[in-house]
Structure 1
Amino acid sequence: MADTERKLGEFGFAGDDNVVPFEVGPLDVRGRMVQLGPLLDRILARHDYPEPVARLLAEAVVVTVLLGTSLKFEGKFILQTRTDGPVDMLVADFTTPHSLRAYARFDAERLQALLDAGEDKPETLLGSGVLALTIDQGAHTQRYQGIVQLDGTTLEEAAKIYFRQSEQIPTDVKLSVGKLVLPAEGGRREHWRAGGLLAQFLPKAPERLRMPDLHGGDGDPGADAQEVTDNAWQELLALVATVDHTELLDPTIGAERLLYRLFNEHGVRVFEPIEIRDECSCSREKIRGILDGFSAEEITDSVEDGVIRVNCEFCSKAYEFEPAEFSAEA
Structure 2
Amino acid sequence: MTDEMTLGEIGFAGDDQVVPFQVEGLDARGRAVQLGPMLDAILARHDYPEPVARLLAEAVTLTVLLGTSLKFTGKFIVQTQGDGPVDMLVADFTTPDSLRAYARYDERALAEAVAQDLLEPQDLLGSGILAFTIDQGAHMQRYQGIVELNGSTLEEIARAYFRQSEQIPTEVRLAAAQLYGAGEGGEREHQWRAGGVVLQFLPESPERMRQADLPGGDLPEDVEEIDFEEDEEWLEAKALMETIADDELADPQVGSERLLYRLFHERGVRVFEPVAVRDSCSCSRDKIKAVLDGLEKEEIAESVEDGKISVKCEFCSANYTFDPSEFLE
Gap runs ≥5 in structure 2: none
2:291 is the counterpart of 1:290? yes
Deviations 1:129-166 (A, max 9, x none): 00010001111100111000013442111111111222
Q: Secondary structure at the match of 2:253?
A: coil
Write the letter of the residue equivalent to 1:207: E
2-structure distance, mates of 1:316, 1:54: 16
Relative to structure 1, the CA distance from residue 225 to residue 312 in structure 2 (aligned partners, 3 Å threshold; closer, same or farther) is farther
Structure 1 residue aligned with 2:325: 324
1-structure distance, mates of 2:61, 2:214: 26
Relative to structure 1, the CA distance from residue 222 to residue 256 in structure 2 (aligned partners, 3 Å threshold; closer, same or farther) is farther
Please list, as runs of the form range in 1=range in 2, the aligned pairs for 1:102-141 lying within 5 A after superposition. Answer: 102-141=101-140
Q: Secondary structure at the match of 1:10?
A: helix
Q: Is the 8 A contact 1:57 1:90 kept in 2?
A: yes
Q: Secondary structure at the match of 1:100?
A: strand
With the length of structure 2 as denominator, give the TM-score of the two structures. Answer: 0.95
Q: Which moved more, 1:94-103 or 1:162-171?
A: 162-171
Please list, as runs of the form range in 1=range in 2, the aligned pairs for 1:139-288 lying within 5 A after superposition. Answer: 139-185=138-184, 186-219=186-219, 225=227, 229-288=230-289
Q: Secondary structure at the match of 1:203?
A: coil
Task: Report the alpha carbon displacement of residue 210 of structure 1 after superposing the two structures with TM.
Answer: 1.4
2-structure distance, mates of 1:95, 1:20: 18
Gap runs ≥5 in structure 1: 2-6
Task: Report the alpha carbon displacement of residue 216 of structure 1 after superposing the two structures with TM.
Answer: 2.6
Write the letter of the residue equivalent to 1:195: G
2-structure distance, mates of 1:180, 1:160: 28
Q: Secondary structure at the match of 2:10?
A: coil
Write the letter of the residue equivalent to 2:254: I
Q: Secondary structure at the match of 1:151?
A: coil
Q: Is the 8 A contact 2:20 2:273 kept in 1?
A: yes
Write the letter of the residue equivalent to 1:236: A
2-structure distance, mates of 1:180, 1:262: 24
1-structure distance, mates of 2:111, 2:15: 32
1-structure distance, mates of 2:188, 2:254: 22
Q: Is the 8 A contact 1:8 1:269 kept in 2?
A: no
Q: Is the 8 A contact 1:92 1:101 kept in 2?
A: yes
Structure 2 residue aligned with 1:4: none
2-structure distance, mates of 1:307, 1:96: 35
Q: Which runs of 4+ in 1 moved over 4 A?
A: 220-226
Structure 1 residue aligned with 2:67: 68
Deviations 1:75-122 (A, max 9, x none): 100011111111111100100000000000111101111111111111
Q: Secondary structure at the match of 2:12?
A: coil
Structure 2 residue aligned with 1:23: 22
RMSD: 1.6
2-structure distance, mates of 1:269, 1:158: 28
1-structure distance, mates of 2:88, 2:143: 20
Q: Is the 8 A contact 1:21 1:272 kept in 2?
A: yes
Matched pairs, number: 323
Deviations 1:263-284 (A, max 9, x none): 1111111011010100000000
2-structure distance, mates of 1:133, 1:232: 28
2-structure distance, mates of 1:225, 1:147: 26
Write the letter of the residue equivalent to 2:204: K
Task: Report the alpha carbon displacement of residue 123 of structure 1 after superposing the two structures with TM.
Answer: 1.2
Q: Which moved more, 1:15-24 or 1:143-152?
A: 143-152
Q: Is the 8 A contact 1:28 1:203 kept in 2?
A: yes
Q: Secondary structure at the match of 2:271?
A: strand
With the length of structure 1 as denominator, give the TM-score of the two structures. Answer: 0.94
2-structure distance, mates of 1:26, 1:242: 18
1-structure distance, mates of 2:169, 2:8: 29
